[in-house]
A and B are shown apart, each in its own frame.
Chain A
C-alpha cells in the first residue's frame, strides 16, 4: 500500500492499540447490551429525567413550572409574574433548539440574555410553539419546562463565546470514565455541539484539569473567539461533579450513559441532561480511547460498589498524570 495513504487513514491495529472505541462497537457491545430499551424514555424526555433526579435527590436546575397543555398557557402569566430570571425549554428538544433565556425584567417586559426585550405575548407565543412541537424531534407535540436560570461559574467566563458551557461525562456501569468540557464558539452559533464547531476540552479524571482542546477534530490551544489559553483551565468542584454523574447510574439503571452537567456559581454542579447514545468525539477531545477504560471496568469483580468507591476508582485509574 502506498505510504502516504496513512497520512489520511490510521492503521486499524494502531487505533486498536490506542484503545479507540468504534461506533459499531459502541452500538453493539455497550449501548444495546447495557441500556435496556424500556428505560430509554426516561432520558429522552427532560421532564421525566428531572422528576427522576428530584426523587433521587440529584441536583438539577430548579423546575419552576410546567406547561403541559394548551389551556395551561392561561396560567403562564400568574407563573411568570413574580419571576425575573428563568429559562423556558422544550422537554423533547435537541441541540439547544427552542431554549428561551430571560435574564431580567423591564417593567412588564422580559429581557433576553442578548439584551433584547420581549413582551408577555412573545413569551406566550414561544410556549405555544413549543407545545405544538416546533422545537421537538420529529415535530411531536411537546411540553414546556420553566427552569431557574443557570449562572455559569466565573471560572468559565473568559472561555465561552455565548451560552453556558457544559461538561459531558461518560458513565459506564456507574463509573465515570471520561469527561470533556464543551464550549460554544461563534462558529457553532452559540451551541455546545462539537460537530458544529464548538470546542471540546478533554479533562483529567483525577483533577478536572484541561488536557487538550479540539475544534473540528483539530487540536487548538486558545479559544478561537476569546483567545484564552486553555492550559490554565481547570474545572472546580471536580469530585462533587463526578459523584453526581456516578449517581445517575442508580437513578436510571442505564449502564452506558452520557451525563451533561453545568456548574452554577451558587448551586454548584447540576445535571442538565442525560444521553443514552453519547457520541465518540469525547475521545478526540481527550486524545485517548474509551475502549481500554471500558474494558477495565468490565473485568472488575462486580458486586455493586458504592458511589464513592467508583469515583475514587475513576480518579486513580483514569488519570493522565
Chain B
C-alpha cells in the first residue's frame, strides 16, 4: 500500500512538473500569452472548395483576399493533391488557379490564410470611381418602368446618395413592399440576384456602387458562407451597406475578402461547386512558432493541435473542455457528495449546453426527460426485455425531439430547435435510469439525482464557457496533465464529503443515552 502511495505521489509530481514546465516554456520562450486578448489576434481562415469533376480536365479559380491595411498576411497555404497551382493578379485582386488534366468524382481543394488583424483593420477603400457616372444598365419592360417609379419614390424620401441607398434597402427588405418593389423582387431567384438588383437600381440612379464580399469573423465557426455587401460612393468615400438589414458601415469583425463583382469561385469541368469557410483565432501565428522552434532545434509544433485542419482544431476546442467537466463531476461527487444520474452524464449535458446556451438547454432537457418518463411509465406496464425497452425509449426520444422542434417552430420559439444537440442515447439512458429509480426508490430520489445532475452540468457549463478556461485548455493542452494529477489525487481522498458533515452531525458531542433514560 505504501509503495502504491509513493508511486502515485511520484506520478502526480511528474505530471505537475511536466504540465507546468511545458506551459511555462511555451509562455516564456515561444511567447504564448497566458491570458486571452492581450495581443491582436491571429486569424486562420480556411476556404474549402468542393465540386464534382466531370471526368476530364478541371480548373477552379478562387478569388483570394485583397491586400488591405491592418491585415498582415503571415502565412498562405494551398492544398490539393495532384493539382497545379498558379496565383495570378487580376487588377487589385489576386486569384488562385487550380488545374488538373484528369479528375473524376468529388474534388476537395483547400486554401488557408493566416492573418494578424489590427483592431482598425477594416479601412475605407482608397480608390475613387473610374468615371463620373456609372454605366446605366438596361432593364427590360415592365421592370424598367417599375424601377423608375420606385426610384422616384425613394428620391423624394432622401437627400443624398447615402440616405437614398438606406431608404432603398429598407424598401426592398420591408415586410409589406409596394407593387413595384414586389414586381422587381418577384424576378429574383438567389441572394446574389438581389445584390445585383440593388446595384442595377443604384446605377440607374447614377450612384457608384459595387459588390463587396467578406467573412463575419467568429472564433470556432465552421462551414460558413461568404457574406455579400454593397458599397456605394457618396462623393467623398465608399460606404458599406448590408443588403439585408440596410445598416450602413462595416459590421464588427468583418473581414473583407473581395471587392467588385467578379465571382468568388469559378469551376470549369465540374459541377455542384461550392465554397465554405472555417475560421479560428489563435494567440500566436503557427509559422512564427515553427520558426522559433526550428531555431531552438526542436519542433513541437509539427505535432501540435495547430498542425491539424481547421475543422478538427475547432472540434478540439470542445473536446479539450471535457476534462474540465470531468473535474467538476469529481469534485462534486467526492468532495461535496452530490448524487448524479450516471457518472459522467452531466458532462455530456454541459457539452450540449455549449451549443444550446444554458437556459434553453435546461428547459429542453427537463421537458424531454419529463415527457420521456411519462411515456416510459406507460411502457413499463408492458412486460418487456431490457434491450427492447431501451430501444423503445430511444425511439420515443427521437419522436419527442421531432415533435418538440416542429411545435416550437410553429410557435416561433427557435431556441427549441437546438434540441438536436443533445445526444439521444444519453437522453434515453437518463430516462431509463430515472424511471428505474422512481420504481425502486420513489420520486424523491429521482428529484435528488436530477437536481444533482443538472447542478453539476450547470457548474461545468459555467466553467467551460469561461473565457480564460477556454483559452488555456486549447492553447495549453499540456495543462491536461495537471487535471490528470488532480484527478489522481481526488481518487485517493478518504476524508468526509461536505454533505456527510451534515448527515453525521448527530454523531458528535452527544453522549449515548442509556435505554433507561429514554
Contacts and interface: CB of A to CB of B under 8 A. Distances in A.
B507 A287 contact: yes
Nearest to B388: A139
Interface string B500-517: 111111111110111110
Contacts of A24: 334, 493-497
Contacts of A10: 501-502, 504-505, 507-508
A229 interface: yes
A288 B441 contact: no
Interface in A205-252: 209-212, 214, 217-219, 221, 229-231
Q: Is the interface of A mostly helix, strand, loop or mixed?
A: mixed
Given A9-B498, A22-B494, A211 B512 contact: yes
Contacts of B503: 217, 284
B479 to A, nearest CB: 26
Contact of B385 (A9, A132, A195): A132
Contact of A209 (B386, B440, B515): B515
Contacts, number: 109
A231 B516 CA distance: 7
B337 interface: yes
A312 interface: no
Interface residues of B, number: 36
A9 B497 contact: no
A219 B506 contact: yes
* Interface bracket on A: 35 or more
A260 to B, nearest CB: 17
A218 B502 CA distance: 12
A15 interface: yes
B515 A18 contact: no
Interface string B477-507: 0000000000000001111111011111111
A294 to B, nearest CB: 12
A23 B498 CA distance: 11
Contact of A15 (B334, B508, B513): B508
A219 B506 CA distance: 9
Given A22-B495, A217-B506, A284-B507, A230 B518 contact: yes
B383 A129 contact: yes
A35 interface: no
Contacts of A230: 518
A9 B501 CA distance: 5
A183 B499 CA distance: 25
A97 B505 CA distance: 32
A25 interface: yes
Contact of B501 (A12, A195, A196): A12
B441 A29 contact: no
Given A139-B385, A196-B442, A23 B518 contact: no
A207 to B, nearest CB: 10
Interface in A99-131: 128-129
Given A22-B495, A25-B494, A287-B510, A15 B504 contact: yes
A255 interface: no
A20 interface: yes
B497 A18 contact: no
A320 interface: yes
Nearest to A5: B501
Contacts of B385: 132-133, 139, 141
A15 B507 contact: yes
10 contacts: A12-B496, A14-B508, A14-B509, A15-B500, A15-B501, A24-B496, A29-B494, A209-B515, A231-B518, A287-B506
Interface of B: 334, 337, 383-386, 389, 436, 439-442, 492-498, 500-510, 512-516, 518
Given A9-B501, A24-B496, A140-B386, 7 more contacts: A8-B505, A20-B504, A22-B497, A133-B386, A219-B506, A231-B518, A284-B506
